[in-house]
Amino acid sequence: MPPPEEEFQYDVRFFLFNKVAASRLRIRRISKNRYLAEMVAETKGLIGFVTSYRKNYYASEMEYSLPKRRLIPLRFTKVVVDGNLIRTTRSENDYLNQRHSWVVTENEMVKDRGSEPIARGTIYEDLLSAFFNLRNGAFGPIERGRRITVTSQPYSRKPFSKQGKIEETFARKFVIRIASFTVEKEYRRRFGRVNEKGFLILVNVPNDFFGQNTGDVLVWLNEKLIPVAAVVEDVFLFGDVTGELREVIAKK
């Protein structure tokens, strides 16, 4: 069945600092079978001042396919605002003509653009579509110990090098692991969540997607599959960054 319209709001902390940033994750229907998933995170207060009020915005426009029972990503946008610098990557999946295209801009000046073929029968997933497809059962049941590999949206891993040269290195897979009881227990002890119930999802994403060094993102789901927390490990300059659920807004 099509996904429900939902919004999750989070307080973000890192090191010894609490509520230094705010984050929002939501999915909404924008037309009959079209959905838009968005995630935004921005620093605030003193930390915001120190980090030039950094803001990251991600958006995935998707079409729900009833025969496939999954969301199919059509367009993906990533915007990073760092002071006066705005870096934007926009990509589009044209499945009819089997073509993926992208354009990268810096303060609205085009730095790179291109396209490449999409193999017949391939459906790309971005991080947002993969998350909502997982929760909606498109990849099968959420069972401990499962390992799911999906074809990744081709993110440019280092679109801006120090010399200003575009480096076209693409990640090709998302590996989604639903932690076993043993692994989950270890992580719950490590992150102080031993009294909670639910599931731990570990997602391997391109290392610079969130500015992290390791590539792993941890998502804690409760028994109703609500994402109650997420941890991006080893983010450059910030260490582990944790978002704790503050409010759930569901459209009635």
- The single residue listed with the structure tokens 């109703």 is 224
* DSSP code per residue over 214-245: S-EEEEEE-TT--EEEEEEEEETTTEEEEEEE
CB 232 within 8 A of CB 212: yes
Answer for the pair 167, 156: CB distance below 8 angstroms, yes or no.
Answer: yes
Strands 147-151 and 85-94: unpaired
Q: Say if residues 210 and 219 touch (Cβ distance below 8 Å).
A: no
Please report, for residues 24, 30, 33, 94, 156, the alpha-carbon distance to residue 119 in angstroms, rounded to integers and kept in the order given. Answer: 33, 28, 24, 11, 18
Residue type, 115: S
Which of these, 92, 174, 98, lies nearest to 133 by C-alpha position?
Answer: 174
Tokens standing for residue 143: 């069972």
CB burial of residue 37 (10 Å; 0-12, 13-18, 19+): buried
Interatomic CA distance for residues 232 and 199, integer angstroms: 17
What spatial distance separates the first Cα and last Cα of the chain, rounded to whole Å?
16
Dihedral (C-alpha) 167, 77, 236, 162: value to the nearest 10 degrees?
Answer: 30
pLDDT in tens, the chain (252 residues): 788 999 999 988 765 556 667 889 999 999 989 999 999 988 764 444 344 457 889 999 999 999 999 999 999 999 998 888 999 999 999 999 999 999 999 999 999 888 888 888 889 999 899 999 999 999 999 999 999 998 887 655 444 444 444 344 454 677 899 999 999 999 999 889 999 999 999 987 665 555 545 557 899 999 999 999 988 765 544 556 788 899 988 765
The pLDDT value recorded for residue 92 is 95
**Nearest-angstrom CA–CA distance, 77 and 98:** 19
Task: Say how many CA atoms lie within 13 Å of 196 toward its Cβ.
Answer: 21
User: Residue 123's Cα: distance from chain center in Å?
Assistant: 17
For residue 247, the one-letter residue type is E
pLDDT of residue 52: 47
| Cα gap 240→92, rounded to integer Å | 31
Predicted local distance difference test score (pLDDT) of residue 49: 36
Q: What is the pLDDT of residue 170?
A: 52
> What whole-number distance in Å separates Cα of residue 158 and Cα of residue 32?
36
d(CA 103, CA 112): 6
User: Half-sphere exposure of residue 252, counting CA atoms within 13 Å on the CB side?
Assistant: 0
